[in-house]
Amino acid sequence: MDWFIQTLWLVPIYPLVAFLLISLGRALPKPLAYDASEGHGHTDASEALPLLAKKEVAFALTSGATLMGLVHAIASIGWLFNQHNGVVAIEKNWQWLQAGDLVLKLGTLLDANTVMMLFVVTFISLFIQIYTHGYMNHDKGYAKFFGYLALFNFSMLGLVLSSNLIQTYMFWELVGVSSYLLIGFWFHKPAAAAASMKAFLVNRVGDFGFLLGILLLLGITFTSGFWHDYLSINPDQALLSFQGFMPMVGALAKGIPAWLLGLIGILVFMGSMAKSAQVPLHTWLPDAMEGPTPISALIHAATMVAAGVYLIARVFPLVAASTDITMPFITIIGVITAIVGATIAVTQTDIKKALAYSTMSQLGFMVTAMGLGAYTAGLFHLFTHAFFKAMLFLGSGSVIHACEGEQDMRKMGGLLKKLPVTGITYLIGTVAISGLFWTSGFWSKDEILAAAAHQHPVIYILLSATAGLTSFYMFRTFFMTFMGTYRGEAHVHKEDPVMTAPLAVLAVPSLLIGVLLSGFAFGLPAFGHYITHGLMSELSHHPHSLLDAMFNKVGNASQMVGLTGLVLAFAVYGMKLINTDTVKRVLAWPYELFRNKWFFDDVYQGLVEGGFMLIAQMSSTFDKVVIDGVVNGVGCITSGTGGLIRRLQTGRIQTYVTVLGLSVLALVVTYQVLMVKG
């Protein structure tokens, strides 16, 4: 038991080894191995491959690595439950790079956050890999896919275990890289290649802010000598270690103006905005659904996109220190994202796109919670959401698989009979995400709502309405897909047990994990018991008892809102009492707005093309008009005659040399002037 805790650094190493072995297997020359195995007389083509290149081996390596990670995760849960008197974090670091004073360390930090995220990532990964075995079985790139999956697991687990912000940034980018590789897995499809590039570009914007924030933080705390002093007391910790954030922020708050502290918080949060698809950096997530569905479930629903929220949790002292700049900013972004995501989801006809916008909306809930200071609630929702959203995506994958690649819900319907396990688990997921009937989503979402109600009524009302909308659009997808009559042409296949088994497994936590960790069941501790006993206990703005009172009031109200959404969806899509075309006609203006995704993509298109091209055009014009003008002017003055004709006849080199002379002159003058001043 203790061994698994002590060797936590192995957790990312397992998938890394798996990735390397699979890559090695793919690089092995195949014909040679084929010759070698010919003597055995096997006729199966895959038998002729070298051992490492075989599908089964790729699968065994990747899922074995994940299973080992899960064992560590379970051991760490045991460790957490044994910490009765407040959790003591365990940090271990190894020196990696040194450049002057800048000493970068790689390390692992084990606290309640880590345990939670470690369990989520390994547990969901494992079942998604089993599912993938069925889903990708006939794909040519099976081994490559599992290789990328292992690479993703390596980066994600490295990110989860990171002991300091710089290491986090490294793995943050690695997670990004594996995500792009997997979105663009079918890169022969133009849409998939474009989507992966878009994800890359949008994440650049966020990571630019993130890196700038890190550099500012590093610059300020370095010059003030804070880290020098801190690390001399805690030599085992690393630069920008998460454990040192509380004292660091304390020192910062005294030393720098509030706006700068707020700015740093917002810059770091920009990283989260891009990764967790927050408005206005959300546009990549729906497009990312071009990747294979297991990837959508694992990376773009359960784990990687939640990393943004996890990052906020990690740097929480930093954002929480700026109560009137960073925290409101985060809250507003979160609320807007929740609303924008939910409203767009209502208009989507592609089942995966609808789920993607739903993910975005739910991430908005989590971010709002963080912004409100309801640290525990945000992480709790991250935790429950990971299970049911992964299950919903896998369910959609099962449907798409059965319908021969069809993703349009208008060409589905009545699939419950043909895909009973998928249908029932999808229903469970729908109920859970709608927060109905004390399923897991109920507990986590209502904690967020309770925090909102406690903080600000407007935010509460907006979030509640969004929750109702969530229920509506999720039941809409359910009714359109599984109820009524089948509207498509494709022949519907039967379910594959390899794919339905993970669905059934994930249904259990989707139903129960909320109540189990609510603090009301079987004497089990509440989720927040450990999380708030961690590093952040002083900062969590809401004492648990206060929230409990609020929770009872909010809980009933949100059930009602959720049920309203359910009834409306049933009326429109189940009973067909209301014609959708009429609704579209009546609500033409909002409908167009939502269907066009609030025109974000169009605006960006214009901005990027306009903005960058404007800069380029300006500098080019400057080059042509000013430089050439000056040069020709000089030419005119010196030669006196025929300036214009000369201009046409001279090659560029005369220009160049004139500019050389003029720039030297200008530099000398500028330099003299500046020196006199300085």
Partner 1 sequence: MVFSADALSSALLDNDWTGFLLKQGVPFLSPEFILILTLLLIIVLSLFSVGKTENKPENAINSPVVSLLASNSWNLAMGGTVLALLTVIAHYFLFFFNHFDVGYSVLYGMFKADLLSVASRTFLLVGFIIVLLMSKRYVATFMAKQASEFFAILLTAFTGAMFLCGSIDFVSAFVSLETLGISSYLLVGYLRNNQQSTEASLKYLVYGGASSALFLFGLALLYGLMGGSTSLETLPLALNSGVKELSAWLPIALVLVMAGVGFKISAAPFHMWTPDVYEGAPTPVTAFLSVVSKLAAFVFAIRFLLPFAGHVGSVTILVSLLALLSMLVGNTIALKQTNIKRLLAYSTIAHAGYLLLGLTVLQYHSLATVLFYLFTYVFMNLGAFACVLVTSDLLKTETIADMAGLGKAKPMLVAMFSIFLLGLAGMPITAGFFAKLFLFQALVTENPITLGMVLLALVASTVSIYYYLNVIRTMVVAEPSDAVKALMGQTESNAGCALMAGGGTSSLCGSTSMRWAMILSLAGTLLLGVLATPIMTVCDVAMYELIQAGKQLEPESAQPPANVGGVTTSASSTNP
Q: How crowded is residue 547: how many other Cβ atoms within 10 Å of its Cβ?
A: 21
610 binds partner 1 (CB under 8 A): no
496 binds partner 1 (CB under 8 A): no
CB of 229 to partner 1, least distance (A): 15
Judged by CB, which is closer to partner 1: 30, or 585? 30
31 binds partner 1 (CB under 8 A): no
170 binds partner 1 (CB under 8 A): yes
Copy the structure tokens of residue 242. Answer: 């998460």
Q: How far, in Å, CA of 123 to CA of 116, rounded?
A: 11
Cα distances (angstroms) measured from residue 424 to each of 359, 416, 429, 501: 20, 8, 9, 13
177 binds partner 1 (CB under 8 A): yes
675 binds partner 1 (CB under 8 A): yes
Question: Interior CA angle at 383 toward 247 and 296, to 5°?
Answer: 115
- Among 17, 33, 197, 636, indicate the residue that binds partner 1 (CB under 8 A): 197
Least Cα distance to 281 among 661, 603, 632 occurs for: 603
39 binds partner 1 (CB under 8 A): no
Please name the residue that has the structure tokens 């229920």: 471
CB of 95 to partner 1, least distance (A): 8
619 binds partner 1 (CB under 8 A): yes
- Among 615, 626, 641, 645, indicate the residue that binds partner 1 (CB under 8 A): 615
Q: How far, in Å, CA of 635 to CA of 631, rounded?
A: 6
Helices (H), ranges, 517-543: 527-532
Q: How far, in Å, CA of 676 to CA of 191, rounded?
A: 59
215 binds partner 1 (CB under 8 A): yes
- Among 508, 578, 586, 657, indicate the residue that binds partner 1 (CB under 8 A): 657
Q: Which stretch binds partner 1 (CB under 8 A): 15-23, 396-404, 406-414, 652-660?
A: 652-660
556 binds partner 1 (CB under 8 A): no
Least Cα distance to 238 among 48, 418, 107, 79 occurs for: 107
605 binds partner 1 (CB under 8 A): no
140 binds partner 1 (CB under 8 A): no
- Among 9, 34, 186, 222, indicate the residue that binds partner 1 (CB under 8 A): 222
Q: How far, in Å, CA of 378 to CA of 369, rounded?
A: 5
Residue pair 236/89 in contact (Cβ under 8 Å)? The answer is no
Measured in degrees and rounded to the nearest 5, phi and psi for residue 525 equal -70, 150
Q: How crowded is residue 676: how many other Cβ atoms within 10 Å of its Cβ?
A: 7
Judged by CB, which is closer to partner 1: 9, or 591? 9
CB of 270 to partner 1, least distance (A): 12
667 binds partner 1 (CB under 8 A): yes
32 binds partner 1 (CB under 8 A): no
Q: How far, in Å, CA of 216 to CA of 260, rounded?
A: 9
Which residue pairs from 459-464 have beta carbons closer than 8 angstroms and sit at least 24 positions apart in sequence?
459/331, 459/335, 459/368, 459/372, 460/554, 462/335, 462/338, 462/339, 463/335, 463/338, 463/365, 463/368, 464/557, 464/558, 464/561
CB of 352 to partner 1, least distance (A): 20
Least Cα distance to 160 among 152, 171, 151 occurs for: 171
Least Cα distance to 443 among 352, 346, 509, 372 occurs for: 509
Lay out the site mask for partner 1 across 95-124 (x = CB under 8 A, - = otherwise).
Answer: -xxxxxxx----------------------
216 binds partner 1 (CB under 8 A): yes
CB of 42 to partner 1, least distance (A): 26
636 binds partner 1 (CB under 8 A): no
Q: Which stretch binds partner 1 (CB under 8 A): 187-195, 274-282, 430-438, 558-566?
A: 187-195
Judged by CB, which is closer to partner 1: 186, or 329? 186
Beta carbons within 8 Å of 440's beta carbon, 6+ residues apart: 384, 387, 388, 432, 509, 510, 511, 512, 513, 514, 515
CB of 300 to partner 1, least distance (A): 19
Which residue ranges make up the site for partner 1 (CB under 8 A)? 96-102, 169-170, 173-174, 177, 184, 187-188, 190, 193-194, 196-197, 200-201, 204-205, 208, 211-212, 215-216, 218-219, 222-223, 612-613, 615-620, 623, 652-653, 655-657, 659-661, 663-664, 666-668, 670-672, 674-675, 678
